[in-house]
Amino acid sequence: MMLKTIRNNLALTLLPILMLSSESALADHVSQNTTNKTAPEKPVAQSLTLEQAIDYALSNNPDLQIATERISQAEAQLGVALSAFYPQVTAKVGYDHSNNPAQVFSMIVAQRDFGPNSINNINDPGYRQNFRPEIIGKLSLFRGGQDYHNSKAAELGISAAEFERSSVRNALIEAVTASYYAYLAAQEAQKVAQDSILAIASELKLTRQRYEAGTVLKSDVLSLEVKSAEAQEAQIRAANAIDLAKTGIATLLGLPVDQAFVVTSASSMLPAPKLASSYNDLLDLAVTQRPEVKAAANQVEIALAKLKSEQGAYLPKADAYVSYGQNSQSPGFSGSKDNVTAGVSVEMDLFSGLETKNRVSAAERKAAEARETERKTKLAIEQEVKTAFLKLEEALARMRVTEASVAAADEALRLVNEQRRAETVTITRYIEAEAARNKAHSNTIAAHYDALSAEAALKKAVGDWK
């Protein structure tokens, strides 16, 4: 009666676990099939502003998708670590066929077929077979804290993966912003080059007519031809810079390089870059919010948790187990021949060939490496913030200087135009003044875009887009 009660209770205990295992296996199968399906590609607009380009990159960039998948992997690793706290249930079937007296005797007893005549043939029992279906449950009671520290390391692993994604996101937005401004700057440079080509071509045509009329020298024609070649070269460089910048943007957006799209400015007025905080304030902000700093500190905690896990191997281990099954000479199951075994086992490694010692030593070195990596990360971020701060200062100063030079270049060209109409300056001097004016405008545009890119780099350095 007691045996049947134990059997029924055990069956009721194991049934939900087996059902849960089946549902988990089915869910894994469905999840795998879903993962294998190719996700539909997100359509890209024909015209992208900076904000639209950033939004598209955040949803389609492969590096960011990889970082997201690593978070899912870390979550799965946590599930693996937590599985140590749950019972482990195994179902198996065994078959034996033997004429060994000791084994045959144990089979007869286990099959509950022992009778008064069984002892008479104990030395020559003949062949006998045994089928044993059984369910085995095992629960870890204590493993020196290894399961706990492994689970803590796995939890920290999720945070590390999230910090990695934040770092990728921060760098991605800065890269898209810099590429966007590089594209617009190249477009403006191309416009300046095209205007120069048209202006020089007009002057070259007029000068050739004057040369044929004998009113100007051949050197004036040659000078304009050289200027025309230089303007065409500048136009080629600008066109190539546009293609390179567009290729870089396409890669950041996760698009083929031949994807058709156009980058446009959201408004005719570019934002004004500025330096709103001191270097020390920016450095403090970077140390507190840069995901790389948090990730490095997180790796130190992971290494310490793994060290404690390895140290737990010095302590004893205790497991509880229960087995429910039957023994019979034919396949099948009979409740009259079932049996239950339950118990607790404790074991401790007395000597493992110094494996435990060396594993602990390796974990200690790993923790020391993590600490040095954290220090190195802080130094690298300090350098990055300092570099970005100085570059933004330089870019803002250049922008102010170039803006002032535009007014001077415009006035110089106006004066040369008046002198040219009075025929008191050569055509070469006029072309030089016009080239200086075009270069001043081009430098102003480039300086503005450089300042915006430097501002984006500083925002990335302090972790504004984490």
Q: How confident is the model at residue 7 (pLDDT cuts 50, 70, 90)?
A: very low
The larger pLDDT score, comparing residue 63 to residue 203, is at 63
Return all residues near 321 (Cβ < 8 A) that are at least 6 apart: 136, 137, 138, 139, 341, 342, 343, 344, 345
Residue 409 Cα distances to 148, 368, 372, 412, angstroms? 73, 61, 54, 5
Section 413-438 average pLDDT: 77
Beta bridge partners of 130: 96
Q: Could you tell me which residues come within 8 angstroms of residue 241 by beta carbon, excluding any fewer than 6 positions away?
A: 182, 185, 186, 189
Measured CA to CA, the distance from residue 325 to residue 334 in angstroms comes to 10
Q: Chain centroid to CA 29: how far?
A: 26
Average pLDDT score over residue span 125-132:
90
Range ranked top by mean pLDDT from 8-12, 122-126, 263-267, 285-289: 285-289
Closest CA to 172 of 249, 287, 274: 249
What does the buried/exposed string (b/e) look like for 426-457 if buried means 16 or more CB atoms within 10 Å of the residue's CB?
A: bbbebbbbbbbbbbbbbbbbbbbbbbbbbbbb
Q: List C-alpha distances in Å: 15 to 12, 109, 136, 338, 407.
A: 5, 28, 12, 17, 86
More confident position, 201 or 36: 201
The C-alpha atoms of residue 37 and residue 40 are separated, in whole angstroms, by 9
- b/e sequence 83-108, b meaning 16+ C-beta within 10 Å: eeeeeebeeeeeeeeeeeeeebbebb
And the tokens for 432?
Answer: 């030089």
What type of residue sits at position 461? A
Q: How far apart are CA 135 and CA 140, in angstroms?
A: 17
Mean pLDDT across 407-419: 84
Please name which of 412, 436, 416 lies closest in space to residue 425, comparing C-alpha atoms: 416
| In the block, residue with structure tokens 């706290």 | 85
Q: pLDDT (tens digit, 9 = 90+) per residue, 174-230? A: 999 999 999 988 888 888 888 888 878 887 888 888 888 887 788 878 888 888 898
**Res 394 pLDDT > 60:** yes
Confidence of residue 373 (pLDDT cuts 50, 70, 90): very high
**What is the pairing mode between strands 88-98 and 128-142?**
antiparallel
Residue 3's pLDDT band, with cuts at 50, 70 and 90, is very low
Tens digits of residue pLDDT in 292-328: 999 999 999 999 999 999 999 999 999 999 999 988 8
pLDDT (mean) for 376-399: 94
Strands 47-48 and 262-263: parallel
Residue 14, pLDDT score: 34
CB 454, CB 391: distance < 8 Å: yes
DSSP code of residue 13: H
Confidence check: pLDDT of 39 > 60: no
- Res 268: pLDDT: 63
pLDDT in tens, 239-266: 999 899 989 999 999 988 888 888 887 6
Rg from Cα positions in the chain: 39
| Rounded-to-5 percentages of helix, strand, coil across the chain | 70, 10, 20
Asked whether the predicted pLDDT for residue 95 surpasses 80, the reply is yes
Residue that has been written with the tokens 């019979």 in this structure? 328
What percent of the chain stands above pLDDT 90?
A: 49
Q: What does pLDDT average to over the chain?
A: 84
- Is the pLDDT reported for residue 136 higher than 90? yes
User: So what's the pLDDT on residue 287?
Assistant: 92
Residue 280 confidence (pLDDT) above 60: yes
Sheet with 338-347, side-by-side order of all strands = 88-98, 128-142, 317-326, 338-347
Question: Picking from 2-16, 29-43, 190-204, 238-252, which range would have the lowest pLDDT averaged per residue?
Answer: 2-16
Q: Please check whether residue 440 is in contact with residue 385, taking contact to mean a CB–CB distance below 8 angstroms.
A: no
DSSP 355-385: HHHHHHHHHHHHHHHHHHHHHHHHHHHHHHH
CA-CA distance, 149 to 310, in Å (whole number)?
9
Q: How many CA atoms lie within 13 A of 384 on its CB side?
A: 23
Is residue 421 classed exposed, middle or buried when 0-12, 13-18 and 19+ CB atoms within 10 A define those classes?
A: exposed
- The pLDDT, as a whole number, for residue 440 is 86
Residue-level pLDDT at 225: 86
For the record, the structure tokens of 238 come out as: 């600008």
pLDDT range class, residue 387, cuts 50, 70, 90: very high
